[in-house]
Amino acid sequence: MTERPQGGKRWKCPRLFLCDGAAKNKNFTRIHSFSIRFYGVNFSDDLVYDKLTDELFQCTKCGKTFTTLQIENVLAEFKKKEEARY
């Protein structure tokens, strides 16, 4: 079932995030990387560390990767442009 907006509004066509490569591809696969970061702590026996999980999105055509932040920024631009029309 398609989700519908409230109040009798109609959805407009979605604006797609597209790869900026030549193919203007809209499909991405998700890539995860996992790491652990250690801190040197003076005068302490405790080992202090962070676990890090990074997520990238890779264009299925040209292999270019984008971070979540890059994609969010582009979507935020779409929103700004749409808001400017009101």
Assess 31 for contact with Zn ion (CB under 5 A). no
Instruction: Enter the DSSP assignment of 65.
Output: E
Stretch of 5-13, 25-33, 36-44, 72-80 lying at the interface with Zn ion (CB under 5 A): 25-33
CA distance 64 to 73: 17
Q: ∠ at Cα 67 (17, 77), nearest 5°? A: 40
Assess 64 for contact with Zn ion (CB under 5 A). yes
According to CB under 5 A, which one of 17, 18, 25, 70 is a site residue for Zn ion? 25
> Between residues 31 and 41, which has the closer beta carbon with respect to Zn ion?
31
CA distance 58 to 37: 25
Assess 55 for contact with Zn ion (CB under 5 A). no
Residue type, 40: G
Binding residues (CB under 5 A) for Zn ion: these are: 19, 21, 25, 59, 61-62, 64
